[in-house]
């Protein structure tokens, strides 16, 4: 069966959806949206993004922990992940660390005690946080101009329901783009000192109906 794909027709249909203010729309932004801007590498050849991707963050974590007693645990967990036919990256690593911390008793597992698995989890999470915390980067607002343009369009779009944005990224580039331009958005949390999750924001569409909604699903 021959299937004809006409890109122009696809674009036309997409334009109709965007033009119609009655349809609910959502955007899914993957890692590529955070890796638009490149930064120079030490060798002058490699292309690295200001916000590192999963592969680079994983290597940073491995390098940071190298030479410590937790290195052996990471190496054993890596072998376990790969033996399961999965890719060794930061998310699978964290999942394994959490699983082992939950099941280990008073004995050691992968050379670590229960409290040491908890320490390892916090250490890995701290390294990830440092990797994606690019808020003080020089000229930040200039190189996230694409995010800012997108936030502006979302804020100015005249629609019956607020536009929803789903992202797997750890960083806060979208939030920065909205907040620096005073564009309102909701992420399910309330408060600034000790934010708490407010389920009615998710369950009731009429609350903050015209605000953009940002959901992190990683």
In this predicted model, what pLDDT tens digit does every residue of 197-206 receive, in sequence order?
A: 888 777 776 7
Whether residue 184 contacts residue 211, with contact meaning beta carbons closer than 8 Å, is answered with yes
Flag whether 2 is in a domain: no
Residues 173, 128 share a domain: no
Q: Please state the domain count of the chain.
A: 2
Q: Which of 24, 55, 62, 67 is nearest to 213 (CA)?
A: 24
Predicted local confidence at residue 45, as pLDDT = 63
- Distance set, CA 153 to CA 17, 102, 150, 183 (Å): 15, 45, 5, 10
| % of the chain beyond a pLDDT of 70 | 91
Work out the average pLDDT over 208-215.
83
Flag whether 44 is in a domain: no
Q: What domain range is 107 assigned to? A: 52-132
Predicted local confidence at residue 218, as pLDDT = 65
Tokens standing for residue 81: 């992940």
Tokens standing for residue 12: 């036309």
Tell me how far apart the alpha carbons of residues 52 and 147 are, in angstroms, rounded to a whole number: 17
Flag whether 99 is in a domain: yes
Residues 212, 142 share a domain: yes
Predicted local confidence at residue 24, as pLDDT = 82
Which bin fits 152, alpha (ψ -120 to 50), beta or left (φ > 0)?
Answer: alpha
39 vs 203: which has the higher pLDDT: 203
Predicted local confidence at residue 197, as pLDDT = 84
Q: Is 40 helix (H, G, I), strand (E, B) or coil?
A: strand
Tokens standing for residue 49: 């993004």
When mean pLDDT is compared across 57-61, 111-115, 135-139, the lowest value belongs to: 135-139
Tokens standing for residue 181: 């331009």
pLDDT above 80 (res 168): yes
Tell me how far apart the alpha carbons of residues 124 and 90 are, in angstroms, rounded to a whole number: 8
Residues 192, 154 share a domain: yes
Mean predicted lDDT score pLDDT of the chain: 84
Predicted local confidence at residue 40, as pLDDT = 59
**Sorting pLDDT into bands at 50, 70 and 90, what band is 31?**
confident
Q: DSSP labels for 163-208?
A: -EEEE--SS-HHHHHHHTTT--EE-SEE-SSS-EE-HHHHH-TTTT
Tell me how far apart the alpha carbons of residues 4 and 6 are, in angstroms, rounded to a whole number: 6
Final residue before a domain boundary, out of 117, 132, 147 = 132
Predicted local confidence at residue 43, as pLDDT = 64
pLDDT above 60 (res 1): no
Flag whether 6 is in a domain: no
Work out the average pLDDT over 70-89.
94
What's the N-to-C CA distance of the chain in angstroms? Answer: 38
Work out the average pLDDT over 179-183.
91
Final residue before a domain boundary, out of 111, 132, 153 = 132
**Sorting pLDDT into bands at 50, 70 and 90, what band is 195?**
confident
Residues 156, 97 share a domain: no
Residues 200, 160 share a domain: yes
Residues 142, 126 share a domain: no
Work out the average pLDDT over 147-166.
88
Tell me how far apart the alpha carbons of residues 180 and 43 are, in angstroms, rounded to a whole number: 34
Predicted local confidence at residue 2, as pLDDT = 59
**Sorting pLDDT into bands at 50, 70 and 90, what band is 98?**
very high
DSSP 136: T
When mean pLDDT is compared across 7-11, 48-52, 102-106, the lowest value belongs to: 48-52
Q: How many residues does the chain have?
A: 218
Work out the average pLDDT over 159-175.
86
Final residue before a domain boundary, out of 71, 100, 132 = 132
Dihedral angle over CA of 202, 204, 206, 208, nearest 10 = -30
């Amino acid at each position: 069966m021959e299937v004809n794909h006409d890109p122009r027709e696809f674009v036309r249909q997409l334009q109709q959806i965007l033009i119609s203010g009655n349809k609910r729309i959502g955007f899914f932004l993957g890692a590529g949206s955070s890796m638009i801007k490149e930064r120079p590498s030490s060798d002058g050849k490699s292309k690295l993004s200001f916000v590192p991707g999963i592969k680079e963050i994983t290597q940073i974590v491995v390098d940071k922990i190298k030479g410590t007693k937790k290195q052996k645990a990471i190496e054993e967990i890596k072998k376990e992940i790969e033996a399961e036919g999965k890719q060794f990256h930061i998310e699978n690593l964290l999942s394994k660390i959490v699983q082992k911390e939950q099941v280990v008793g008073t004995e050691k597992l992968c050379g670590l005690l229960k409290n040491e698995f908890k320490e390892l989890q916090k250490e890995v999470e701290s390294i990830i946080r440092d990797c994606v915390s690019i808020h003080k980067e020089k000229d930040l607002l200039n190189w996230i101009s694409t995010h800012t343009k997108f936030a502006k369009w979302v804020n100015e779009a005249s629609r019956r329901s607020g536009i929803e944005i789903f992202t797997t990224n750890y960083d806060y580039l979208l939030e920065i783009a909205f907040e620096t331009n005073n564009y309102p958005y909701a992420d399910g949390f309330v408060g600034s000192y000790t934010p708490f999750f407010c389920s009615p924001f998710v369950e009731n569409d009429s609350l903050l109906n015209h605000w953009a909604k940002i959901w992190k699903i990683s």
